[in-house]
Each structure stands twice: as structure tokens, then as C-alpha cells.
């Protein structure tokens, strides 16, 4: 369920929790909760204190990010607007569409960020220069 539209191509969603006396379970399926075919899952964990990650955009990759343990802050920038969101629960998923610059910071020591991706790893899909990203997005920012 949509919780908050962060940017036109980036939104925070809530996950349905299947709970019973044993505890909780969340299931994420392609074309249901996750709006793209799932080709890859990766985890960012044991992040050292003060580390910032990301600082790139993707030309076509779509992702669904869930902080399954601990917390971190994701900052998204579409070349027009920059918004930050703290991810601190497996009950929320952040959809990041194509053409979004992202930065990750404020990882808690126990943070485990799980990312579901629409394609396999392709270095050619990365834009690692912010200037190049602004050109790509036709930004109004300087």
C-alpha cells in the first residue's frame, strides 16, 4: 500500500505483515508488492560508522529497498527535487525508479539493507557523475 510519494518516480510503501502467535512474516512477490520482475537481490550490511554509500543513479534499473534490520537514511534526487527517507522497519519498502540519484547514510550498526532489483548487475547502467546525471535527467538544478 502506498504510504508516501517521495518523488514522481520514488515512493514509500507499507508491506502486509502475516502475523500469528509465532511472530511475523512478510512476503514480497513480483508484479504484486514489487512492481517489476525480480532478477536480483543483494544486501548491504556491516556498514562502518559514518560511511556514506551510493552516489550514483541508474539509467533503467528499478529497485525496492527494505531495511530488514536497524535503520539507514536514503536520499533520492531526480534532478529537480531532493528528498530523504529513514528506513527503519521491514514493514516498509522504498520503490526507486529509473533515473534517480541515490545516497545512503546514517546506517545503524545493526542495519541490513535488502535491495530487490529489476535486472542483474550491469555496470553500464550506472551514472556515477552527478553532472552527467543532471544532463541525463534534463535537470533544472545546477
Residue numbers at the binding site for ligand T46 (CB under 6 A): 40, 42, 44, 53-54, 63, 102, 104, 115, 121
Exposed/middle/buried for 70, CB within 10 Å: 0-12, 13-18, 19+? Answer: middle
Q: How far is the CB of 32 from ligand T46 (least distance, A)?
A: 22
- Is 56 assigned a catalytic role? yes
- Of 4 and 45, the one with the shorter C-beta distance to ligand T46 is 45
- Of 22 and 120, the one with the shorter C-beta distance to ligand T46 is 120
- Of 121 and 141, the one with the shorter C-beta distance to ligand T46 is 121
Q: How far is the CB of 96 from ligand T46 (least distance, A)?
A: 7
d(C-alpha 23, C-alpha 99), whole Å:
38
| Catalytic residue of the set 13, 15, 56, 58 | 56
Q: How far is the CB of 132 from ligand T46 (least distance, A)?
A: 16
CB 78 within 8 A of CB 44: no
Length of the chain: 142
d(C-alpha 8, C-alpha 92), whole Å:
18
The cell 509465532 sits on which residue?
A: 22
Give catalytic residue positions: 56
Amino acid at each position: 500500500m502506498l504510504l508516501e510519494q517521495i518523488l514522481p518516480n520514488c515512493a514509500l510503501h507499507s508491506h502486509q505483515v502475516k502475523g500469528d502467535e509465532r511472530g511475523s512474516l512478510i512476503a514480497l512477490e513480483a508484479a504484486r508488492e514489487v512492481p517489476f520482475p525480480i532478477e536480483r537481490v543483494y544486501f548491504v550490511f556491516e556498514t562502518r560508522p559514518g560511511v556514506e554509500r551510493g552516489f550514483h543513479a541508474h539509467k533503467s534499473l528499478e529497485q525496492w529497498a527494505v531495511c530488514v534490520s536497524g535503520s539507514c537514511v536514503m536520499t533520492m534526487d531526480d534532478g529537480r527535487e531532493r528528498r530523504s527517507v529513514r528506513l527503519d522497519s521491514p514493514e516498509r519498502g522504498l520503490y526507486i525508479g529509473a533515473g534517480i540519484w541515490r545516497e545512503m547514510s546514517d546506517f545503524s550498526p545493526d542495519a541490513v539493507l535488502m535491495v530487490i532489483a529489476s535486472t542483474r548487475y550491469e555496470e553500464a547502467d550506472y551514472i556515477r557523475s552527478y553532472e552527467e546525471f543532471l544532463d541525463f535527467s534534463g535537470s533544472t538544478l545546477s
